[in-house]
Structure 1
Amino acid sequence: MRIHALPAEVLDRVRAGGVDVSGHPVERTVAAGGEPLRCCLRDAEAGERLLLFGYEPPLPPSPYREVGPVFAHAEPCAGPAATDAYPAGWYGRRQVLRAYDKRGWIHESTRVHDGSDPEAAIAAILAEPDVVQVHSRNVAYGCFMFAITR
């Protein structure tokens, strides 16, 4: 599996322009600690400078495209520690694994996992031949966390 944090070009554009995909101003904030950072796929530490903005994960044009809030570092960071493994600090976190087909439609293999063995849950979804990508999403808020492809 390949893990995809927010693309660098999206982060560069938001940081430089101060607006999100919908043209809304970016919210600048200081982390309380624990905010899930979509740039480096870890939780924020208290005191880190963050951006909160609307993000539209890439999907083909479909009724399932949506914009939702994400946190990222206010300044460029090193990015995720790995792109071939589930984010280490997020084990044990319940997530919705939303599967999509090539049309950008939600696939029936979408499920909630309890965080104990996310690789097995992801592998089972990616074993479905019609699934082209999976979005990991926050259970309570539905926010996009990261994308997963084969």
Structure 2
Amino acid sequence: MSLMIPQRQQSLPNTLRFRPLPAPLAEETPAPFAILGTPDQPVPCRRCLQDSQVGDEMLLLSYNPFLGQSPYQCASPIYLHSKPACADAAVQSSGGLVPEQLSKRLLSIRAYDGKHMMRGCEVVDGNQLLEACQRLLGDDISAEYCHVHFGGPGCFAVRIEKVSLPH
């Protein structure tokens, strides 16, 4: 019998905040390649930052998280609960707990400056997310925000930014 040791949930420092879906979703006119389905395993919803349950109806669509023009901008696949649609992430934007869906996966973190140019990147286990973001967004670095992607499939997960940025 193997025992699963629960990981200690980390709290987001007051200097950083989550933005689960930084760019608006065009839900009235879904992307042309959006797929509605019921995955046979849990998948991470980007709206509520919770994993789905087997049998949940999920929408898989292409999403561009950038809020400005950049040679790095590109669309990424994301899942969203479809029916009933879930609520926005129930995490504090700053000072709250890091959602489990982030802490239990391999993550690719890419840091960008105010002109949306990449200033650094790291691939880490989810339990190292905060330390990596703090390194990439340090006071002596020009980066302002990080896009976090799931390491295996490369799907966009969340934006983490300095609280000094306008919301």
Structure-2 change in CA distance of 1:58 and 1:125 (3 Å): same
Percent identity reads 27
1:1-150 to 2 correspondences below 5 Å: 1-6=16-21, 9-10=24-25, 13-14=26-27, 16-17=28-29, 19-20=30-31, 24-75=32-83, 76-82=85-91, 83-84=93-94, 85-108=97-120, 110-127=121-138, 128-150=140-162
Structure-2 change in CA distance of 1:32 and 1:146 (3 Å): same
The gaps in structure 1 that reach 5 residues or longer are none
Q: How does the TM-score come out when normalised to structure 1?
A: 0.85
Q: State the Cα distance separating 1:33 from its structure 2 match.
A: 2.8
Q: Which of these two proteins has the greater Rg computed from alpha carbons?
A: 2
Which segment drifts farther, 39-48 or 76-85?
76-85
CA distance in 2, matches of 1:40, 1:148: 15
CA distance in 1, matches of 2:70, 2:41: 35
Greater percentage in helix: 1
CA distance in 2, matches of 1:7, 1:147: 7
CA distance in 2, matches of 1:89, 1:25: 25
Instruction: Report the AA paired with residue 141 of structure 2.
Output: P
CA distance in 2, matches of 1:8, 1:121: 23
CA distance in 1, matches of 2:69, 2:148: 20
The answer to whether the Cα contact below 8 Å between 1:60 and 1:104 also exists between their aligned partners in 2 is yes
CA distance in 2, matches of 1:43, 1:100: 27
Aligned residues: 142
| CA shift digits 1:43-97 (9 cap, x unpaired) | 1111111101110112421211101111001143122121334213431311011
The gaps in structure 2 that reach 5 residues or longer are 1-15, 163-167
The answer to whether the Cα contact below 8 Å between 2:33 and 2:62 also exists between their aligned partners in 1 is no
The answer to whether the Cα contact below 8 Å between 1:59 and 1:65 also exists between their aligned partners in 2 is no
